[in-house]
Each structure stands twice: as C-alpha cells, then as structure tokens.
Amino acid sequence: MFKKYRLSKILLNAIFFGLSILIFISPVSAEMVVEITQGTFEPTPIAIPNFIGGSAEANEIGTEMSQIVSNDLKNSGLFRPLAQSSFIENVHQMGEIPRFGDWRLTNAQILVTARIRKEERLLRVEFRLWDVFSEKQLEGIAFTGDLSDLRRLAHRISNAVYKRITGDAGYFDTQIAYIAESAPNTKKNTRRLAIMDQDGANHKFLSNGQNLVLTPRFSPIDPQIAYMGYTGQKKSIEAQVYLMNLKTNQKSPLGKFKGMTFAPRFSPDGSHLIFSQTQGGYSSLYTQDLKTHAIQRLTNSPAIDTSPCYSPDGSQIVFNSDRGGKRELYVMNRDGSNPHRISFGDGIYATPVWSPRGDLIAFTKITKTKLCIGVMRPDGSGERLISQGFILEGPTWCPNGRLVLYTRQTPTDRKGRGGTSRLYAIDITGKYEYMLPTPQDASAGAWSPLDYH
Amino acid sequence: MGVGFVLSGLLHLFCLGILIFGVPAWKTPLEELPKPIPIEIINISELSVAPSPKKYEEEPTKPLSPVKPEPIPEPALIPEPETTPLPEPVVDPLPVTIPEPAPLPEPEKKPEKVTPEVKKQPNLPVPPEKPKPLKKEEKKEKKQVKKKEDSFFNDIEKALENLDDKKKERQPNIGDKAEKAQANEASIIGDELSISELDALKRQLAECWSPPSGMQNAETMIVELNVSIQADGSVRDVKIVDLNRYQSDTLFKPAADAARRAVLNPKCNPLKIPPNKYESLKTFILKFDPREMF
C-alpha cells in the first residue's frame, strides 16, 4: 500500500516536472522572431511603360499620359521611375498579366500598366498597379473622361499609385496660386497673381501687374481665392483683402475697413475669412462671416497679431504675435479665448500654418544668421527645422500634409539684391526637396485643396 | 641580571613604541586613487525624451505692452514705391477665364482580375499561425520594456566592465541600442542563430527595407511577416500575420507591402542564414519595426 502511494507520488512528480519543462521550452521552439529595426529610406523604383491603345492616336495619348504620371511620381520624391530603355517586356505584346521575371530584372518593384480606349472624344483608361516581387495586383481602376481632361485623368492615376504605395492621399490633381515676380528685389519688379497646375501645366496670370498683390489663399469649398491687394496713388495708397472668383475673374474687396487689412485665410469650412487689421500702430485679428458679413474681433492687445490660421477642425487658431516682446507663435480657441504661446526656441517665429492633417504647424524661423522653415507639433513640442537658406519664407501645406511649399530667395550680391525667388516643395521628413516649374520668378505660393478644379 | 633586565625593558619599550606610533614608514605609501568613472557627453535627445534645456530658459512671458513705432505685418508687406503708382485697379486685360473641365465620373472600381497563382515553387504547406506563441511574444515585449527601464544602469556597469577589460575592443558601429536589442533577441531565439549571424541577416534586410516615411503614425506600423525559406535560403513564401489589419487599415496596408517587398527583393535573396541552420529555420517571423528610424 505504502509502496504504491510512493510510486504514484514519484510518477506525479515526474509528470509535473515534464510539463514544466515543456512550458519553458515551448516558446523557443515555436517560432523564431527576428526584429528588423533599421531600413533605408529610398524612393521606390517604379516602371511606368507607355500606356497602350488600339490605334496610333491612342498610343500617342497613352505615351503622353504615362509621361505625366512618371513626372508626378518622380516629383513627389518617393518614387524613382526607371528608364524606358531598360524595359525587357514589350508593352504592346503584354498579356493581361505582365512577365514579372522580366520586370524584376529591371530592378522595378512596382509596375504601372494602362490600356486606353478612345471613342471619339471619350477616353477610357484601364489602369493596373502591380507588385513585381509578390506578383500581385495592388490596384485596378478604370477612369473615364473627356479628351480635354487627359492631364487630369493622368493625375488621377498618379493619385491612385501614390495612395496605394505611401498610404497618403495623392495631391497631383491640384493647383497652385502664387505671385509671379519679374525681377525680384529690384525696383523694376512687378508682381502678378498667377495660377497653375501643381506640375506647372496650364499656367495663367490672374492680374496684370499694375497693382501690388500678395498672399493668395484658396477657399476650401469654392473656386475662389483671397489675397491682399494695393490700390490708389502713392499718397492715398490702400491695402486691403480682396476676394477673386476664379470662374469669372471678378474681384471684390472684403469690406470697408479703417486701417489696412492683410494676411487673409479661409476657415476650414469656407464660411469665414480670418485676417489682420491695423489700428493705431498695432494689428488685431478679426473674422468675417462671408455670407452675413458680420465681423468679430478675436484679439485686442497692444501688439501686432498677424498670420492667423485655423486648425483643420476649425476649433483653434495659430497666429503670430509680439505681445511677449518678440515675435512668437500662439494658439487660441476659435473665439479668441485662451491664447497661449507655443514657440520657445531662440530667434523669431513667423507665418505659422496648420497642417491639413492637424499633426504639425509649419513656420518661418529667423535667427541671427539664417532663415529656416520648420515644423512643430500644435503644443509646441518636437520643433524640427526642415530647410534653411538666405531667405526662406511663406510656408504653405500641400493638401495631403506631406509637403511644405515655400519661397526661397537666393541673392546675387551680398546685400541681398537681385537674384532669384522660386517656389520649393519639401517633404516633411526633410529628405526630399524640389523646385516648382514656374515660368518666371515666384513667391507666396498657395496650394489648392485636393481635387480642386 | 641587571643588563638582562635593562635589555628586556628597552625591548618592551620598543615594542610599546611600535604599538603606539606604528612601524616606521621608509617609503611614502602610494595613495590608492579611486577608479575613474567614465562619463560620456552626449546630447540629451539621444538618450531620453526629456525636453531640451533651452525650454527652461524662457518661461512664457506675460503679455507686455511694447510700444512699436509702426506695424510690421507679414514680411514684405510694406508697399514698394515702384509698384504703386498705377492709377486704377481695373479689370485685368488678360484672358483669365478658367474653363471648368467636365466633371469626371466617379472612378468605377474594376472587378479585380485575380492573377492565377504563378508560383514556380510547389505550394508547400505553411504551418498555421498559432495564436499561443504570439501572445507570449506580447508578454515578452512587456518584459523587454521592463528590462529597458533597468538597462540604463546595466549599461553603465557594462561600459565600466568593458573599459577594465582591455582585451575587449569597442565596436564603434554598434550603439547601445543595438546591443540592447541583440541581447533581447538572443534570449528570444536561444541558440538558433548566433548574434553575429543575426546581425548579418538584419543588415542584409535593412538594405532592402524602405518603410513608408512621413505618413501619420508611421512609427506604429509594425509589420510581422511569416516567412518560410527554401533549402538554399531563398524566401519561398511570405505571409502577413495581421491580415485583419491589412484589410482594414489603409495606412498599414502599404507598410505591410513595403515589408513584404523587402523580404522578396532579389537583392536580399537568398537570406544570409548559415546553411546548417536552414532545418531549424524553415519558418520564422520577421518583425519590421520602424520606431528607431523616426
């Protein structure tokens, strides 16, 4: 009896021991985990062979469209379109499914193919996006439009590629308004309001250069821009905020104000315009309801409050003020309550702009030696300078919140005269920057909302 | 008797003197210097998320009332004389009508033509994903976080030991973070891959992995891939572990695709795994974590 009990006890112990060992061993033998924490930020190699059609004419259209897509993606800095000469598979003999082995040899990771059907003026583009390595179709969309919308159709393909590969909305079907300058920093300089597609196509002047124009801003809902314009003779000069309808080209002043009004910007819902108005050596922030024309004063301090910009949800406003001694960035509620400073670094801060994503505020920073474009979080933390130079100013956001557009001036002499003034777009990571193809010198760019035409 | 007594007395006195004053010191003893504590001066931001000291220099000042001679609105707002003398702001002579393009119809989603599986390799059965080990991984992660809290002191101790031991040479390329990570992983994988073998694999994949940068919350896009390899070390199959998130999260999708492309990239195939370890590593999990890159 006793022996039996002892034996069973030994057995039980052995079982427990075995189980505990199993528990300890199982995670190790289950599956090895290798953690990769470092990578390389590189533009994705992408193959964009000419889009093909059933006729010579359709092929020609296809070639043009594929070049527009290639140019869009290259300018984004996140893609590296490969040279057509390196392609092995002939696109005209390509079946439904590409020969992925051939495309792997070209070092392409992503492949864009499209077939075009043209019936009179109607274009139908069947576009497919392929992952060359996993041999999978990532996207397949058919776009249809009028022949005159050829560029927009191509931009939509770029948008679809960009969205699927980067996760962010594509911004290629957008426009940019800016001030065209004939001879920056010289007495002969004239400034004209101009507008173009984001890739420089369809360029148009909106004013004749007789009057000074500054700071154009797009309405988020209507084809309308607000800007600051000067009128009158030398002594009776007036500077005011104007609204221009982009369809009719009609312009009208915002209203009758005693002092100068400037730095306009629309509210995210397009219902209000926020701006600065001077009074007795100071300037304060006001909003105007664009329907009722009711005006509300938001700040009232003996200081210069300017460059207001709403947060994308419209609940807060970031602005620039020297109320604390030097120019710093402040954030307040949309009714003007609870203003608090968010910039605490060295130097002077100016022209804050809230990202459409809401996560960052871009600004100009002026130190003793240089001007910089930087970004910080809305609470002022995480300040990061992304570009610097002789004169950098006027940051504005790409509507997807990925790029910051700004003006870069490079003088020809040491006193800062002459030289060039151009628009640049820089990725918020600071890793990629490109110059916008304006036909002449440019400043004060503004990016339209997405799908804005 | 008297001489002996005196001698004895003198010797006793001598002994007593030694007891009181100690043994005479012929040489000045070497002072034992305390061991130097190595202190490296590095930027705060490299080690911690503490705010930079600049922040404390300027407390938000209460609004004063500075008297300004003139308002300085936005840069370059002051009218330039040469651009002003024009009489009237009439309608611009340029043709500025912006023709509105006909609205594009909503893009029709084309029924995706499923590509027939063009796989050169026979489809070998992939072991089903077991939820159990994953849970344990999570627990491990938590443990690792705890470990990291203590690891600061451990690191100092380690550094001291390394300095003492002159035989150990410092590797300039491997930072503290890497060492920590390696130590952690060593505990995960046991003796399946040595640290140097693991390092080679990591470096190889780092060259092929280009995670999407700049997207919102890019640092949270941690992708786990279930990788199975062939006998020659090249990747046979890759499966995204969190398929639910892949289907529902539009930001995770591109991140997961990018990780998958890294593993399938011909530049990274075959994987740098010693041939004698293929057997034990037929399938394993590759975890792409971009947090350190941002």
Q: Across all residues in chain B, what is the average pLDDT?
A: 61
- B contact test, residue of A133, A144, A236, A377 with most B CBs within 10 A: A133
Give me the residue from B109, B188, B209 closest to A141, CB to CB: B109
C-beta atoms of A302 and B58 within 8 A: no
Contact by Cβ (8 Å): A361, A318: yes
Residue B145 above 70 pLDDT?
A: no
Residue B238 above 50 pLDDT?
A: yes
Other beta carbons within 10 angstroms of residue B263's beta carbon come to: 23
B46-74 per-position pLDDT tens digit: 433 333 333 333 333 333 333 333 333 33
C-beta atoms of B257 and A138 within 8 A: yes
Identify the pLDDT of residue A7: 63
Q: What is the mean pLDDT of residues B68-95?
A: 32
Cα B245–chain centre separation: 24
Chain A residue numbers with beta carbons less than 8 Å from the beta carbon of B220 are none
Identify the pLDDT of residue B33: 52
Q: Which residues of chain A have pLDDT under 70?
A: 1-8, 11-12, 14-30, 233-235, 414-418, 452-453
Chain A residue numbers with beta carbons less than 8 Å from the beta carbon of B293 are 37-39, 41
Chain A residue numbers with beta carbons less than 8 Å from the beta carbon of B253 are 164, 167
Using CA atoms, how far apart are residues A197 and A151, in angstroms rounded to an integer? 10
Contacts of B80 (CB under 8 A, 6+ apart): A187, A189, A212
Facing residues of A307 across strands? none
Identify the pLDDT of residue A160: 95
Residue B292 above 90 pLDDT?
A: no
Instruction: Chain B: give the shortest CA distance to residue A6, in Å.
Output: 36
C-beta atoms of B112 and A140 within 8 A: yes
Using CA atoms, how far apart are residues B263 and B51, in angstroms rounded to an integer? 38
Res. B32 pLDDT band, cuts 50 70 90? low
Instruction: Chain A: give the shortest CA distance to residue B196, in Å.
Output: 13
Identify the pLDDT of residue B36: 52
- A contact test, residue of B61, B70, B86 with most A CBs within 10 A: B86
Instruction: Chain A: give the shortest CA distance to residue B108, in Å.
Output: 6
Question: By percentage, how much of chain B surpasses pLDDT 90?
Answer: 14
Res. B85 pLDDT band, cuts 50 70 90? very low
Using CA atoms, how far apart are residues A106 and B119, in angstroms rounded to an integer? 20
Q: Does B92 touch chain A (CB under 8 A)?
A: yes
Identify the pLDDT of residue A419: 82
Tokens of B96: 């500025």
C-beta atoms of A38 and B293 within 8 A: yes
Q: Does B35 touch chain A (CB under 8 A)?
A: no
Identify the pLDDT of residue A19: 60
Q: Does B113 touch chain A (CB under 8 A)?
A: yes
Gap between the terminal Cα atoms of chain B: 95
The long-range contacts involving A256-263, CB below 8 angstroms and separated by at least 24 positions, are: A259/A283, A260/B71, A260/B73, A261/A228, A262/A214, A262/A215, A262/A228, A262/A306, A262/B73, A262/B74, A262/B77, A263/A215, A263/A228, A263/A306, A263/A307, A263/A308, A263/B73, A263/B74
Identify the pLDDT of residue A233: 67
Identify the pLDDT of residue A174: 94
Residue B257 above 70 pLDDT?
A: yes
CB-defined contacts A:B, below 8 A = 313
C-beta atoms of A210 and B93 within 8 A: no
Chain B residue numbers with beta carbons less than 8 Å from the beta carbon of A345 are 54
Identity of residue A361: I
pTM of the prediction? 0.70
**CA-CA-CA-CA torsion sign (B37, B42, B48, B51):** positive
C-beta atoms of A35 and B287 within 8 A: yes
B213-231 per-position pLDDT tens digit: 777 788 889 999 999 988 8
Identity of residue A283: S
- A contact test, residue of B213, B235, B272 with most A CBs within 10 A: B213
3-class SS of residue A373: strand
